[in-house]
Amino acid sequence: MWCRATIGLAPRVLKRGSMKVLVTGGAGFIGSHIVERLVREGHQVVAYDNLASGKRENLAHVGEIKGAGELELVVADVRDAPQLDYYASGCDVIFHEAAVVSVPYSVEHPQETHDVNIQGTLNVLHSAKRRSVKRVVFACSAAVYGEDPEMPKRETMRAAPMSPYGIEKITGEYYMSVWTQLYGVETVSLRYFNVFGERQDPASPYSGVISIFVDRVLKGSGVTIFGDGLQYRDFVYVGNVVDANIRAATTPGIGGRAYNVGCGQKTTLLDLLSTIERIAGSKVERTMAPPRAGDIRESIADIGRISDELGYRPTVGVEEGLRRLIEYVKGSR
Ligand code: UD1
């Protein structure tokens, strides 16, 4: 896969194991999976993370990978432009995963999420230009689509964010494409749908719903369902998202493009909970609560563009991803 994926970059980064890569948010949930993959492939990786939600433990196992590349963890913030600029120097690619990722948190703390999610992204782009980084892959979100009832969501649809988080993500994406047009920095935005998998932290009320439901079902404690539970999402296992990132970093001729990253499969919250209960072999009590402010009700991706242009396939489906996650959580208790 790596060989196929690397064909697009300039000759000096064609060789396996020759890239220098910066992953912002590299100790976080998705970032740590990208870091792991890159290190396995023998690359030189800097994981840049302020550890606000990322954790050193997320990268602990990476050092033990045999015959791997190098990893350095830098504890710093994307709002710290000089630091970021220093570590961007000499990089071939930046994966920009650092963000405050919660919709309700952004509703409650819009100034803080603006600073991290917009100013932080601008800092990344500024350094990418200054340091002649070849490509920036940006973690965008399905939250940019908002409440337009047309489904599935296609990249050509008008953005209509419903939360500060959605505004911040579409702003970041606009910055990405403009940096390609104005300054020739090759950027690619990936509109993640609902990503789940190992190392997603269930500890906070702002955590992703799958991490919370799996945690509660395995503990035998109750869950809260905001709304009627019939809202649906396109849940996508993190391994597929890593694959999309590698393809986005290495496919030629896609500067300035944006792609949905999902499975193209809809799952309601009630179905999700039943599936988790079935796989885990236990049931939990449900408390119904009003819908959360800023939540979109329905979301499902059309993955035609990313399939056609990047050769992406969601090879691990939702149920298989849930099985892997549940095994992992059981094993780490
Ligand atoms: C999630 C991601 C966001 C990403 C977006 C893309 C997180 C924390 N958020 O937002 O970064 O950009 O997908 O679509 O990973 N819910 C409950 N009970 C709970 C928790 C949540 O009913 O205990 C409900 C929510 O009200 C919502 C749904 O589950 O309707 C999904 O919530 P959540 O996992 O927070 O994801 P999104 O808000 O879709």
Predicted confidence (pLDDT) per residue in 88-113, tens digit:
999 999 999 999 999 999 999 999 99
* Single-letter residue type at 29: F
Question: Do the bridges between strand 70-75 and strand 194-196 make them parallel or antiparallel, or are there none, so unpaired?
Answer: unpaired
Predicted confidence (pLDDT) per residue in 20-52, tens digit:
999 999 999 999 999 999 999 999 999 999 999
2 C-alpha to ligand 1 centroid (Å)? 31
212 pocket-lining for ligand 1 (C-beta < 6 Å): yes
Question: Do the bridges between strand 232-233 and strand 267-268 make them parallel or antiparallel, or are there none, so unpaired?
Answer: antiparallel
Average pLDDT over residues 273-302: 96
Q: Is the pLDDT of residue 13 over 80?
A: no
Let me know: does 73 contact 27? Beta carbons within 8 Å: yes
Buried b (16+ CB within 10 A) or exposed e, 265-291: bbbebeebbebbeebbeeebeeeeeee
Model pLDDT, residue 9: 33
Ligand 1 atom nearest 210 alpha carbon = 34
Cα angle 309, 312, 317 (rounded to 5 degrees) comes to 150
φ/ψ (deg, to 5) at 73: -100, 125
Residue 125: band (very low, low, confident or very high) from pLDDT cuts 50, 70, 90: very high
Buried b (16+ CB within 10 A) or exposed e, 221-230: eebebbeeee
Model pLDDT, residue 147: 84
Q: What is the Cα–Cα distance from 128 to 157, expressed in whole angstroms?
A: 28
Average pLDDT over residues 126-131: 98
Average pLDDT over residues 129-142: 98
Query: Is 116 or 1 the better-scoring residue by pLDDT?
Result: 116
Residue with tokens 């963890």: 73
DSSP 26: T
Question: What are the strands of the beta sheet with 70-75, ordered from one edge?
Answer: 70-75, 44-49, 20-24, 93-96, 135-141, 186-192, 257-261
Let me know: does 206 contact 104? Beta carbons within 8 Å: yes
44 pocket-lining for ligand 1 (C-beta < 6 Å): no
181 pocket-lining for ligand 1 (C-beta < 6 Å): no
225 pocket-lining for ligand 1 (C-beta < 6 Å): yes
Question: Do the bridges between strand 186-192 and strand 257-261 make them parallel or antiparallel, or are there none, so unpaired?
Answer: parallel
Model pLDDT, residue 320: 98
291 C-alpha to ligand 1 centroid (Å)? 11
253 C-alpha to ligand 1 centroid (Å)? 33
Question: Mean pLDDT across the chain, nearest whole number?
Answer: 93
103 pocket-lining for ligand 1 (C-beta < 6 Å): yes
Q: Is the pLDDT of residue 329 over 80?
A: yes
Indicate if 165 belongs to the active site: yes
Question: Do the bridges between strand 223-226 and strand 194-196 make them parallel or antiparallel, or are there none, so unpaired?
Answer: unpaired
Protein residue whose Cα sits closest to atom 36 of ligand 1: 208
Q: Which of 105, 165, 237, 259 is catalytic?
A: 165
207 C-alpha to ligand 1 centroid (Å)? 7
261 pocket-lining for ligand 1 (C-beta < 6 Å): no
- Predicted TM-score of the model (pTM): 0.95
Ligand 1 pocket: which of 103, 173, 207, 230 to mutate (most atoms within 8 A of CB): 103
Q: Is the pLDDT of residue 67 over 90?
A: no
Model pLDDT, residue 16: 56
The closest alpha carbon to 45, from 20, 16, 9, 74, belongs to 20
E strand or H helix at 47: strand 44-49
3-class DSSP assignment, residue 101: coil
Let me know: does 298 contact 231? Beta carbons within 8 Å: yes
Q: What is the Cα–Cα distance from 134 to 128, expressed in whole angstroms?
A: 8
HEC sequence for 137-197:
EEEEEHHHCCCCCCCCECCCCCCCCCCHHHHHHHHHHHHHHHHHHHHCCEEEEEEECEEEC
* pLDDT-above-70 percentage for the chain: 95
Q: Is the pLDDT of residue 2 over 90?
A: no
* pLDDT-above-90 percentage for the chain: 90
194 C-alpha to ligand 1 centroid (Å)? 7
Protein residue whose Cα sits closest to atom 12 of ligand 1: 141
214 pocket-lining for ligand 1 (C-beta < 6 Å): no
Residue 14: band (very low, low, confident or very high) from pLDDT cuts 50, 70, 90: very low
Residue 209: band (very low, low, confident or very high) from pLDDT cuts 50, 70, 90: very high
DSSP per-residue string spanning 248-305: HHH-TT-TTEEEEES-S--EEHHHHHHHHHHHHT----EEEEPPPTT--SB--B--HH
194 pocket-lining for ligand 1 (C-beta < 6 Å): yes
255 C-alpha to ligand 1 centroid (Å)? 29
301 pocket-lining for ligand 1 (C-beta < 6 Å): no
Average pLDDT over residues 113-137: 98
DSSP 115: I
